[in-house]
Amino acid sequence: MKNFAGKMNPKQSKLAGQMEKIRIRFGIRDKILISFLALSLISVGIISSLALRYIGSVGALTKEYSASMGETVVSVSISALEDQGRRTIYQKASDIAKEMYFYLQLHPDMTEAEIMRDPKLNSIAIQKVGRTGYTLVYDTKGKILFASDPNIIGTNLRNLGGEPSYYSSIFERSLLGGEASGYYQYKGPADTVERTKYMCTIPVESSDLIVSASAYMDEFSSPADETKNSINSAVEEMSKQVDKQAREAELIFIAVIVSMVVVVSGVSFLLSETITRPVMALTKGSEQFAVGDLDYKFDIHTGDEMQVLAEQFNSMGDALKESYTNLEQKVIERTEKERQRAEQLRTINEVSRKISSIVNLDELLAYVGNLLRQTFHFYNVNIFLFEPNSGKLMLKTLHFSGQKNVIPVGVPLEIDDEGIIGKAARSGEYVLVNDLASQPGYRKADSTSETRSELVIPVKMGGRVLGVLDIESAEVDGFDEADVFTAQTLADQLAVAIENARLYQETRSMAVTEERNRMAREIHDTLAQGFTGIILQLEATEQALGETNDDVQKHLNQARSLARKSLAEARRSVWNLSPQALEQLRLDEAIKHEVDRFKHDNGIDATYTQYGERRDIPPEMGTAMFRICQESLANVAKHAQATSVEVVLDFEGSEIDLIIKDNGTGFDLENGGKVGRSGGFGLISMRERALGQNGKFDVQSEKGSGTVIKVSFPLA
């Protein structure tokens, strides 16, 4: 201490001398030691008296609560098991009723006698319930049709004597046509006392049959009795263990109290020593800071406030030195932002050039999404557009990183107005959330997603929202004003591209429509008019010749018949070329109209069925499907000699299916089930139409067994 004081100025040496005198008289260590010993002894005395007092009461309460808990568990278990038993009986009756309904729908012409003799129905109707219960089936008159006891089959339940009144009440209610259930007491042949049974009856839909299922309730609740015995044994054993542990705890607690007094005395001595050493180190370090030595480091590792104070001094010195480094870093960051700004402008210019060269909307959307993700290293980039008819958002393209479960492209979405995408789509204003963890109600599409911030920009043309551009980042605060400006500019250019693609598609469709109308007019003005003139000339020739020559009359009739068939064919070609059906009607309405026209023109029973909710499809795909339907019905009228035709349009699943089935003469398929020469040019043309739209075409036919044509197109 003398050597250290010799290096100080007179004022510091005087302060050190005063500190030495105070320590000799009564030091900090002595004060801390005495205080800790006094507080420790008082605390230990109070804790020990309270602990010894309550150890015994804890054991008694534990045994009491354990017994009460066991009784509660048994009661709840019995109630739950009986409830499960009732649901099991009800489910068994419901399952059998459904199975019988489906079976009877497949065999609608079965009589009551055939139903009672049918082994399949017998196996469905008679099933075991619980351990001893069975199901039975009777009709609305009370006649038993199926039962586990063959002696009562055909007997009327009203005529069976000895039934309990509660059972009769359930039975009578079941005859009214609805479900019925309830309890009743029943004593079986093997029982010594009456036992509670539960019965449930369910009518079989579209028939006069009723399914009844019943079973003893104690068969379901019996496991609870075994549980009760196990719980009582466990409670008794636990009570013994609690008493034993309480005695051992008292002895251990006394030993711990004695050991604590010894340990506290030693710890108090060491603690007082650890406090005085860092105080002196802080004093020395303060002197170094006072003379401007910012490189000095406090070496204090006490793990308490002293170490925190020393680290604050060290941090203060580091902060002063880092200020110069921070200035340089800010210059680097500003330069990087300018470079990013230039890159964003380059991307905007590149997209502008691409818009003028790409007329295919899907190709353009994929290009923009991929360019954004690769250029700016975003986590996900998705583009949604509104469907013109349904008004639902549809995911048109996505570019993602590491996400396993994603929304399938082309599937309409129900957008929540409170969600990020929904807010942008409904309001027409961009939505920026730089910390999704703090966004109320936000739910990740995938639990493994690393998305931390999200920017959604509406794609607008004028005041109309066409869709949204959704950009996700894996970093918090992943977007700034420059990103918003870039995304907004790209969204505006995207809106122009969408409008250009729409106008291009409309122009192309108008050109195709005009050409088809021109061909239809030419056929109508040339072939159809020519065949009409031929028919008129043949009829005039017939009137001029009279009936003097049978051979001439025969040839005239044949020529007139051929001319009329050719005229009908020319008119059908005009109808097929004209796109009016799909211009004025939706695809499903146009096909239904074609089926009705076929039925009216040919006198063949034709039906139309549709499954699933109608979905929007590309015009080319709808035209191909409509033409295939027309060609198929024309083939049926010409060749099949059918009396009925079924046309099915199915929108369910990821494909749209068109099925045309007839009961005509059919034909033999060649080359392992493929359409060959026997199929004719019509089937080959239909196959080419389907393949031209990336669809699938399948024909199933046999001689004398009719024909089934199925065409499928992907919806996504």
Q: Tell me, what CATH number does 351's domain have? A: 3.30.450.40
Q: Report the phi/psi class of residue 142: left, alpha or beta, with left for phi > 0 and alpha for psi in -120 to 50.
A: left
pLDDT of 673 reads 41
Tabulate helix, strand, coil % of the chain (nearest 5). 60, 15, 25
Per the domain annotation, does 543 fall within a domain?
no
* HSE-CB for 141 with a 13 A CA cutoff: 6
Secondary structure letter of residue 195 according to DSSP: E
Both structure tokens of 188:
């079986």
Residue 152: CATH number of its domain: 3.30.450.20
Whether residues 373 and 463 fall in one domain: yes
Do 407 and 413 contact (CB within 8 A), yes or no? yes
Q: How many structural domains comprise the chain?
A: 4
pLDDT reported for residue 605: 93
What's the confidence (pLDDT) of residue 542? 67
Alpha-carbon gap, residue 39 to 484, rounded angstroms: 64
Confidence bin at 443 (pLDDT 50/70/90): low
Query: Do 208 and 261 belong to one domain?
Result: no
Within this chain, do residues 149 and 200 fall inside the same structural domain, yes or no? yes
Instruction: Check if the beta carbon of residue 18 is closer than 8 Å to that of residue 5.
Output: no
User: Considering only 148-162, 232-246, 438-452, which range has the smallest mean pLDDT?
Assistant: 438-452
The neighbouring-strand residues paired with 660 are 647, 709
Confidence at residue 576, expressed as pLDDT on a 0 to 100 scale:
58
Question: Which SS3 state, helix, strand or coil, does residue 629 take?
Answer: helix
- Over 80: is that where the pLDDT of 129 sits? yes
So what's the pLDDT on residue 313? Answer: 74
The reply to whether 217 and 231 lie within a common domain is no
Residue 646: which residues within 8 A CB-CB, separation 6 or more? 606, 607, 609, 659, 660, 661, 662
| pLDDT recorded at residue 668 | 82
Q: Exposed (0-12), middle (13-18) or buried (19+): which is 111, by Cβ within 10 Å? A: exposed
- Tally of residues, the chain: 716
Statement to judge: residues 168 and 247 lie in one domain: no
Domain that holds residue 175: 95-223
271 lies in the same domain as 209: no
Higher pLDDT pick, 473 / 19: 473
161 found inside a domain:
yes
Given 223, 254, 281, the domain boundary residue is 223
Q: What is the dihedral of CA 185, 187, 191, 193, to 10 degrees?
A: 60
Residue 456 belongs to a domain: yes
Same domain flag for 356 and 503: yes
Contact between residue 406 and residue 379 where contact means Cβ atoms under 8 Å apart: no
**What is the rounded distance in angstroms from the CA atom of residue 613 to the CA atom of residue 651?**
6
pLDDT tens, 347-367?
Answer: 666 666 666 566 677 777 777
CB contact at 8 A, 375 and 369: no
The two structure tokens encoding residue 88: 């099991």
Q: Is 314 domain-assigned?
A: no
Same domain, 595 and 630: yes
pLDDT digits (tens, 9 = 90+) for 59-83: 666 666 666 776 777 777 778 888 8
699: pLDDT strictly greater than 90 = yes
pTM of the predicted model, to two decimals? 0.35
| Residue 67 falls inside a structural domain | yes
Q: Can you tell me the distance from the alpha carbon of 588 to that of 134, in angstroms, rounded to the nearest whole number? A: 49
Instruction: Examine the domain organization and report whether 350 and 402 are in the same domain.
Output: yes
Nearest 5°: CA angle at 440, between 439 and 441?
A: 115
**pLDDT score of 714:** 87
503 plus 404 within the same structural domain: yes
502 and 646 assigned to the same domain: no
Q: Quickly list H helices, 291-438.
A: 305-357, 361-376, 420-427
Backbone angles phi, psi at 498, to 5 degrees: -65, -45
Boundary-marking domain end, from 457, 484, 507: 507
pLDDT at 160: 60
Instruction: Please tell me the predicted confidence (pLDDT) of residue 27.
Output: 52
Whether residues 211 and 268 fall in one domain: no
pLDDT average, residue stretch 465-470? 84
Please provide the DSSP assignment of 82-126 as one string.
HHHHHHHHHHHHHHHHHHHHHHHHHSTT--HHHHHH-HHHHHHH-
Domain boundary among 507, 527, 554: 507
Cβ(708)–Cβ(660) below 8 Å = yes
- Please report, rounded to a whole number, the percentage of residues in the chain having pLDDT higher than 90: 9
pLDDT score of 54 more than 90: no
The answer to whether residue 329 is domain-embedded is no
What is the Cα 155 distance to its own chain's centre?
Answer: 52
Residue 556 lies in a domain: no
CATH of the domain at 701: 3.30.565.10
484 pLDDT band, cuts 50/70/90, is: confident
Report how far residue 88's alpha carbon sits from residue 632's, in angstroms, rounded to the nearest whole number.
Answer: 51
DSSP annotation of 158 reads G
Residue 658's pLDDT band (boundaries 50, 70, 90)? Answer: very high
% of the chain at pLDDT higher than 70? 63
Domain for residue 676, yes or no?
yes
